[in-house]
Structure 1
Amino acid sequence: MEVLRGNNTSSSIITSIPSLHTLRHARRTTLNRVFGAVYTCAIIVLLYHHALNLIHSTTLSSFFITFSFFISDTILAFIWTTQQCFRIAIVYRDEFPENLEKVMKKSNFPALDVFICTADPYREPPMSLVSTVLSVMAYDYPTEKISVYVSDDGGSQLTFFACMEAAKFASHWLPFCRKNNIVDRSPKAYFASNHSWCSDAEKIKIMYESMKVRVENVLERGKVGEEYITCEQERKALSKWTDEFTRQDHSTIIQVLLESRKNKDITDHLMPNLIYVSREKSRTSPHHFKAGALNVLMGFKYGTLVEDYYTGLLLKCEGWRSICCNPKRPAFLGDAPISLIEGLNQCQRLVLGSMEVGFAPITFEGGTVQRWWNDQRMWMIRGLSCSLFGSLEFFLKCLGISTYGFYLTSKVIDHEQRKRYDQGVFEFGVPSPMFVPVTMAAIINLVSFFMGLIQVLKGSNLEGLFVQMFIAGFGVVNSIPIYEAMVLRSDKGKMPLKTTTISTCLVLALYVLVSLALRY
C-alpha cells in the first residue's frame, strides 16, 4: 500500500500495481569499463605502431606485409568495438508473468500472432515443425487469442500434411498440457525427457508416435497417399497441388486448419487459430526469400540476406527501443548446425548480409574450457573461410558479377554426426572450397613452427624468433583438429583427400611466389 499526500487532501490510499519485470545492473560493469578503456589504449598503440612501420617501409614487400597487418588489426578493432555496446551497461531482467492476471483480466489480454517459417521439408524435418506448432498452440495463454501462422515458402504438400496432422493431435495435446500443467509443451521435448509421466501420458505418446509414423512415411514417399486422407475437406485442400505446381512457380495457398470460433478440443475448450500460408511465386518476379514470405503476413526490408538485422537497425534509427529479455528458463530453443560446413555456410550468409548493412554481429558462447577453446578455433576457421568468402561475394555483388542466393541451413540430424558434435569433434567431411584456406593456414603454421624450431636449435637469433614461434605455435595448437582430420581420422568427418592435396599444392606455389618476391 502507498500513501499519497497533496495540497488539498490529507492522504489517500491506493493499491500498488504488481511488477511484470524488474531490472538490476551487473556487478562487473565497472570492471568491464576499465578493461575496455585499457584495451582501447592498447589498440590505439598497436595501430600507431603499424602506421609508423608503414611510413618507414623501405621495400615493397615490407610495405605490403605491414599494410596487411594494419588492415587486419583495424577490422578486428572495429569488430571488438561493436561488441562493447552491451558490455558497457549490462543489465538483467526478472520477469513475473504470474502477475499479468493481477494487472488485467484475461478477456483483455492482447491477441498473440506467432509466425513460424519453413522452406524445405527435407532440410527442415516436418516433425520438428509439428512440435514447434504444438508448443506454441499450448502456450499458457487464452487459446482463443492465439493465432499461429505457418509460412511455408517451399509450398510443400508434405509440410501441409504435417500441419493437418498437428491440428488433429492438438485437440488431445492441449487438454493434456492444461490438465497436468506440463512445462515442456513441445511433444518432442516432453517425450524425450526423464520427467515422471502422469497416467494418461502413455496414451498421448502412442498417438504422437502414430502421427510421427504417418508424417515420416509421407515424407519418404514424397506425396500424400489416399490412405492418409480421412475426409473430403482434406482431399479438396490437397487438390491444390497439381502437376503444374512447383516450389518456384505456384499460386497462393491459404488454408485455415483451425478456427478458434468454431473448433474445440476434446474437453470442449476453444482451439487457437492455425493457418497454413504459402505465398504466390513466379519465376518472372523476385520473391526476396524469407523477407518476402514474412511480408505476406511483420514489414521486413529487402535488399539483404539478413533481413532481421537490417529491419531492426532501421527501426532503431527511427527511434524504436528494444530490450534483451533472457529468462533463466529459455523462452525459445532452436536447432544450430552441428556440421562444420553447414555452420560456415550459415556464417558466410551472415557475413555477406552484415557487410550489406554495415554491421557485423559476432557472438561468443561461454561454457566449458573445451567449448571456449573450440570458440577460439572457430574464430580462426571463420576468418579464413566464411568471412573471406563472404567478403569476396560482397565485392563481386557490388561489381554486379555474382549474387549469393538464400542458403537454407539443414536441420536434419545424422546420429553419428551428432555423436561427434557432442564430443567436440569438428566435421570436415564435405569437399568444400571454404576448407582450402583453413587447411593452407594449418600447413603454413606447422612448417613455420618447425622451421623456427630448427633455427633455435642452431642457436640463431632467439629474441627475433621467439615472437614468430609463439604466433606459429598458437596457430598449430588451434589447428590440431585439422591435422587430425587430414591424417589420423578414418570416420566420415575426416578431411577429403582432394582438399588436402589442393591445399598442399597451393602452399607450395605460395612459397615459391613469396621466395621470388623477397629476392627483389
Structure 2
Amino acid sequence: MMVINTVLSVMAYDYPPEKLAVYLSDDGGSELTFYALTQAAMFSKHWLPYCRNYKIEPRSPAAYFKSASRPSNTKHDRDYIFVKKLFEEMKDRIENVTNSGRVPDELRLEHEGFSEWDSFTSPRDHAAIVKILLDHNDDNEGQSLPNLVYMAREKRPSHFHNFKAGAMNALIRVSSKISNGSIILNVDCDMYSNSSDTVRDALCFFMDEEKGHEIAFVQYPQCFENVTKNEVYGGSMRVLREVDFHGMDGNGGPMYVGTGCFHRRDILLGKNFDGESRIDWTLENDHNDTTENMIEEIKNLASCTFEIDTEWGKEMGLKYGCPVEDVITGLSIHCRGWKSVFYNPKREAFIGVSATTLDQILVQHKRWSEGDLMVLLSKYSPLWYGLGRVNPGLIMGYLMYCLWAPSSVPTLYYSIIPSLCLLKGVPLFPTVTSEWFLPFAYVIFAICAFDYLEFLWCGGTTRGWWNDRRIWLYKRTSSYLYAFLDTILGSDLSFVISSKVMDNDVKARHEKEIMEFGVASPLTTTVATIAMLNLVCLLRLVMKSMLMDTTTRRVYYETMAVHVVLCAALVALNMPLYWALFVRKDNGKIPDSVTIKSVILALFISIIFYLL
C-alpha cells in the first residue's frame, strides 16, 4: 500500500496527464506488487477526477484521508464518502492478497499480465516483465489518464544486477521507447508526492531563459512524516536540508541523493555541457507504438545482457560499482560542466518514512558512509576529478560527506582515550590554570554553541539537538568506523535495504520517543561497549575522588578537567542506552547477549589499560 499510494500521488500531479508517464520498477518482480498496481490503475479512474475537481492536497490517498476532515459541501461530501469507500475496498483487497502470500487463481484471470509469472523462478532468477496497465486510457469523466507501466528487469544468478543503479538504467531505456519524456522524475517507493505543483515548479528551472540550459537536475529535500517532535533518531536531516544543501546550491548545485530529483534525460545519457545545451522538447513521443512486437523489443532493453560491451553504468546512466550510485552520478554530471538546483519549497514536495530503530539508522549510515569513502578513493574523487572542473566550494561540500567514514577515527579516540586516562590520572590536556587551557575551552564551547544555535534556527528543539548529538556519536563510533575498516581492508560490500515497515509495538515506542535497540549486531555491540567503558571510567573517578582529601581533589580536577567533562558528557548522552541495558524489559531493550559482551569488554579494556 505504501508503494501504491506513492504511485497514485505522482499520477495526480496538476499537469496535463497526456504528458505524464508513471513507471513502477519492481526489482523484486513480485506478482503481489503487480496485483496491487492493477488495483491502483482501476482506482485512479476515480481518484484523479476527485483530485482535479476539488484541488485537494496531498494526493496520496492514505495521507489525504488520514489528514482531511469531512467536507461541508454536500456534493463534495458525497464524492468524498464514495472515493474513500473505493479506497478502503482497494486496500482490503490488496492486504488480503498480500497476507495470503499469493494471488488467487480467480484474480489472476482478471489481467493477462499474470501469465508472466507462470515461468517465474525467483526474485533473483526471472525474465524481464513489462506491462502497460494504462495507455492514456480515459478516467470516469472522459479525460485522459497518465501512462502507467509495470517493469521488472530480467535477473539471472550469473549476471550481477548492480542494485538500484541497474534498475534505474533499465528504466531509462524502457521509458525511452514508451514515452521518452525529456524530464525524468526519480522517486523512491516510500516518498509520496505531497504537492501537486511540483512538476511545474521543477520545469520553471529547466525552462528559465537565462540559466535553464545549465541545469542538469533539480533536487528536492528528503522530508519524513514519522519523525517525532524531538527526533529521537535524528532522522529529519534538518541541518542538511536547511543549511548544507543551500550552501552547495550557491556553489554549483547540490548532490543527487537518489530520490525526489528531476533529471534531464539527455544528460543522464552522457551529454556534455556546451553552453547551448537546451532541451529539445520536440523529441518527446506522446503516443509510441506499444504493440506486442514493441513490448518484446522493450523487454530486450530490460534484459540482464543488454549492457554487455556498452557504456551503460560508465558514461551513460547511473554509475556502477558504488553503494551511493546517486552521489557519484551527480558528481560526474557536475564535472561535465552542468549545474544543479536545490529547491526547498515551503510545502514539502515529497514526504517519506524515516528509520524507526537504532539498527536501521546504523546500517543505513554504514552503507552511505562506505559509499562516500569509495567515491573519495575512486577516479571520480572530488579531490582530483573535480579539481578545475567544479567550484572549490562544491568540492568542499562533497568532501563533507566523503569524509564521514574517516571522521570515525578522531571521534573514537576522543570517546575512549581521555576517559581511560581518568583511570590513571594521566593528563592529555592543559590544566585549568594554564593559559593553554583557553584554546581547548574555546573550541569545545564554540562548536557546541554554534551547533546548538544552528539546530534551533532550523526549527529544532533543545531535546532534539541532544538526541541528534547522541545519534551523531553512535554513527561515528560504529557505522562510520565499520565503513572505514571495510573499505580500507577491502571487505566485500553488501547493499543492505533499510526496512521501513514496523510492527505495532515498535510504532508505539517510537511515538513515545523510546529508543529501539532490540537487535544483536556488531554495530550495537560496539556502541554499547564504548558506552559501558565511559560509565566504568566515570564510576571509578567518583570512587577515587571520594578517597581524596579536599586539596588533592581540587588539584586533580584542575588537572583532569577536560577529561572529566568529556567522560561526563558521554555518560549523559548514553543514558537511554544504560536504561536499555539494565532496566527495560520490553522487546526494544538491548539483547542480553549484547549486554554481557559489552560489560565484559569494557571491564577487560579498562583493567588492561590500568595495569599498563
TM-score, normalised relative to structure 1: 0.71
Distance apart, 1:396 and its partner CA: 3.0
2: CA distance between counterparts of 1:477 and 1:244?
54
Tell me, yes or no, if structure 1 residue 215 matches structure 2 residue 91. no
Q: CA separation in 1, counterparts of 2:335 and 2:542? A: 54
Match of 1:408 among 476, 497, 500: 497
Distance 2:596 2:28 in 1: 38
Tell me, yes or no, if structure 1 residue 418 matches structure 2 residue 507. Answer: yes
3-state SS, counterpart of residue 320 of structure 2: coil
Alignment of 1:80-479 (within 5 A): 127-197=1-71, 198-199=76-77, 200-229=79-108, 231=110, 234=111, 236-242=112-118, 244-260=120-136, 263-298=137-172, 299-358=317-376, 359=399, 361=401, 367-397=460-490, 402-457=491-546, 458-459=548-549, 460=552, 461-479=556-574
Stretches (4+) displaced over 4 A: 362-366
TM-superposed deviation, 1:304: 0.4
Q: C-alpha displacement at 1:406, in angstroms?
A: 1.5
Relative to structure 1, is the Cα distance of residues 206 and 161 closer, same or farther in structure 2, using a 3 angstrom cutoff?
same
Q: How much does 1:513 deviate?
A: 3.0
Tell me the distance in 2 between the aligned counterparts of 1:366 and 1:253: 46
Counterpart amino acid of residue 412 in structure 1: V
Give a deviation string over 1:439-461, Cα, whole Å, max 9, x none: 11111111211222233331432
Cα deviation for residue 476 of structure 1 reads 0.5
Cα distance in 2, alignment partners of residues 230 and 204 from structure 1 = 26
**Post-superposition shift, 1:230?**
5.5
Asked whether the 8 Å contact 1:356–1:394 carries over to 2, the reply is: yes
Question: What residue is the counterpart of 2:183 in the other structure?
Answer: none
Q: How many residues align?
A: 382
- Using the TM superposition, give the Cα deviation of residue 405 of structure 1 relative to its aligned residue in structure 2, in angstroms: 1.9
Unaligned runs of 5+ in 2: 173-316, 377-398, 405-450
Between 412-421 and 480-489, the greater mean CA deviation after superposition: 412-421
Q: CA deviation at 1:152?
A: 0.7
What is the CA distance between 1:312 and its match in structure 2? Answer: 0.5
- Residues 455, 463 of structure 1: alpha-carbon distance in 2 compared, 3 angstrom cutoff: farther
- Distance in structure 1 (CA, Å) of the matches to 2:41 and 2:103: 16
Identity fraction in percent: 41
Distance change (3 Å), C-alpha of 1:493 and 1:281: same
1:171–1:210: structure 2 CA closer, same or farther, 3 Å change rule? same
Distance in 1 between residues matched to 2:97 and 2:135, nearest whole Å = 25
Contact (CA 8 Å) 2:27, 2:167: kept in 1 or not?
yes
Q: Distance in 2 between matches of 1:271 and 1:226?
A: 29
Classify the secondary structure of the residue corresponding to 1:412: coil
CA drift of 1:220 comes to 1.2
Which letter does structure 2 place at the counterpart of 1:174? L
Aligned to 1:510: 605
The correspondence of residues 56-75 of structure 1 with structure 2, limited to 5 A, is none
Letter in 2 for 1:156: S
| Deviation of the 1:392 alpha carbon | 1.8
Deviation at 1:240, TM superposition (A): 1.0
Q: Deviations over 1:176-214 (max 9, x none)?
A: 111111111100101101434331111111111111111
Instruction: Name the CA distance, whole Å, in 2 between partners of 1:214 and 1:404.
Output: 39
Deviations 1:296-350 (A, max 9, x none): 1251000101100110111111111112100010001111111111111111110
| 3-state DSSP of counterpart to 2:131 | strand
Contact 1:456 1:462 in 2 (8 A): no
Distance 1:157 1:318 in 2: 41
Letter in 2 for 1:187: P
* 8 A Cα contact 2:536 2:602, kept in partner: no
Question: Cα offset for 1:273?
Answer: 0.4
Deviations 1:410-437 (A, max 9, x none): 1213232122222222111111121111
CA distance in 1, matches of 2:580, 2:9: 40
Q: Distance in 2 between matches of 1:242 and 1:226?
A: 12
- Aligned-partner Cα distance in 2 for 1:502–1:486: 11
Amino acid at match of 1:416: D
Q: Is the 8 Å Cα contact of residues 533 and 603 (structure 2) preserved in structure 1?
A: no
Counterpart CA distance in 2 for 1:228 and 1:439 is: 50
> What is the Cα deviation at residue 366 of structure 1?
5.1
Question: Conserved in 1, the CA contact under 8 Å of 2:517 and 2:588?
Answer: yes
Query: What is the distance in 1 between the residues matched to 2:114 and 2:545?
Result: 74
Partner of 2:225: none
TM-score by length of 2: 0.60
Q: Cα deviation per residue 1:52-109 (whole Å; 9 max; x = unaligned)? A: xxxxxxxxxxxxxxxxxxxxxxxxxxxxxxxxxxxxxxxxxxxxxxxxxxxxxxxxxx
Indicate the larger mover: 411-420 or 304-313: 411-420
1:333 aligned counterpart, secondary structure: strand
Q: CA deviation at 1:228?
A: 2.6
The letter of the residue matching 2:488 is F
Q: Which has the larger radius of gyration?
A: 1
1:78 aligns with none
AA in 1 matched with 2:354: A
* 1:360 positional shift: 5.0
CA contact (8 A) 1:354 1:360 kept: no
461-470 or 171-180, larger mean C-alpha shift: 461-470
Instruction: Show the counterpart of 1:61.
Output: none
What's the offset of the Cα at 1:394?
1.4
Shift of 1:483: 0.5
CA contact (8 A) 1:310 1:357 kept: yes
Change in Cα spacing, 1:429 to 1:473, as seen in structure 2 (3 Å) is same
Amino acid at match of 2:13: Y
Aligned to 1:42: none
Distance 1:142 1:243 in 2: 38
* 1:494 pairs with 2:373: no
